[in-house]
Amino acid sequence: MKSAVATQAVSGGAPAGLPHLEAQAAPQVPSYLDVHYWWAYVHPNAVRVFERQWLANLILWGNYARLRDAALALLGGALPGRTLQVACAYGDLTPHLVDRVAAGGGELDIVDVLPVQLDNLRRKLPADAPARLVETDSSALPLDDATYDRALLFFLLHEQPESWRRRTLAEALRVVKPGGRVVIVDYARPHWWNPLRYVFAPVLAALEPFALDLWREDVAAWIPDLPHDRKIERRSYFGGLYQAIVVTR
């Protein structure tokens, strides 16, 4: 799955010690992004509109910091070794992640298929950040098997059609070492008593056409060849509207 992919490594201030990826032709932007998310991620004006901490927090009903900190806590305090973030995120998630990676003497790779998102992230990181930005499709990572100690998917899966979602999860697990963990933070089906269960569903249906899949299915259902005894940790937030899942390889 990883071999026949076009990618372009973007240095973004990465230190010389990080492994090099040979630059090739830029990958094709997935059609679902152009069709459904041009207004949120693809168009340059999207970054100017959405790259505001208060707005990212508002979109998550005031839960951005809580969910960011939950994701970081599940990854660990100081993060040695190699960490992978799959897709850029608005807000200050990645600067906080960089701090933990730097504290552990580790290295961080952030992959995204959109140059505009990588450019935006680069502006948020210090020049000496131990990070490498890589332009590539999350469903076909140009990365070797079992080379990362951990991976993070922060509000990515709900934006992807099922076929991309399955491949993205397979790729994240493929590149993580045995015993490593994949942390997923995303939407979930709210508890029956949560009023947002009734008012937020039509909003997601209109703006996030694939998000309600996470209300209907368990994320584990999209992980290929998942052994029945695979360790999966689950946590719920804000009346069940959000979830955190940790899959240990």
Structural domain of 215: 9-15+24-248
| Predicted local confidence at residue 21, as pLDDT | 52
Structure-token pair, residue 167:
């491949």
- CA 212/CA 137 separation, integer angstroms: 23
- Look at residue 157 and tell me if it is in a domain: yes
Answer positive or negative: Cα dihedral of 171, 79, 65, 248: positive
- CA 59/CA 219 separation, integer angstroms: 22
Residue-by-residue pLDDT tens, the chain, 249 positions: 333 333 444 444 444 344 445 445 688 999 999 999 999 999 999 999 999 999 999 999 999 999 999 999 999 999 999 999 999 999 999 999 999 999 999 999 999 999 999 999 999 999 999 999 999 999 999 999 999 999 999 999 999 999 999 999 999 999 999 999 999 999 999 999 999 999 999 999 999 999 999 999 999 999 988 777 778 999 999 999 999 999 998
Using CA atoms of 45, 48, 51, 55 in order, give the dihedral in degrees to the nearest 10: -90
- Look at residue 145 and tell me if it is in a domain: yes
- Look at residue 29 and tell me if it is in a domain: yes
Q: What is the CATH number of the domain that holds 232?
A: 3.40.50.150
- Look at residue 1 and tell me if it is in a domain: no
| Predicted local confidence at residue 228, as pLDDT | 76
Domains in the chain, number: 1
Q: How much is the pTM? A: 0.91
- Look at residue 2 and tell me if it is in a domain: no
Residues 6+ apart with CB under 8 A from 204: 187, 211, 212
- Look at residue 92 and tell me if it is in a domain: yes
DSSP 38: I
- Look at residue 4 and tell me if it is in a domain: no
| Predicted local confidence at residue 66, as pLDDT | 98
- CA 209/CA 201 separation, integer angstroms: 10
- Look at residue 32 and tell me if it is in a domain: yes
At 235, which helix (H) or strand (E)? Answer: strand 232-237
Answer positive or negative: Cα dihedral of 49, 54, 56, 61: negative
- CA 30/CA 38 separation, integer angstroms: 11
| Predicted local confidence at residue 16, as pLDDT | 37
| Predicted local confidence at residue 55, as pLDDT | 98
Identify which of 169, 188, 30, 197 has the alpha carbon closest to the alpha carbon of residue 86. Answer: 169
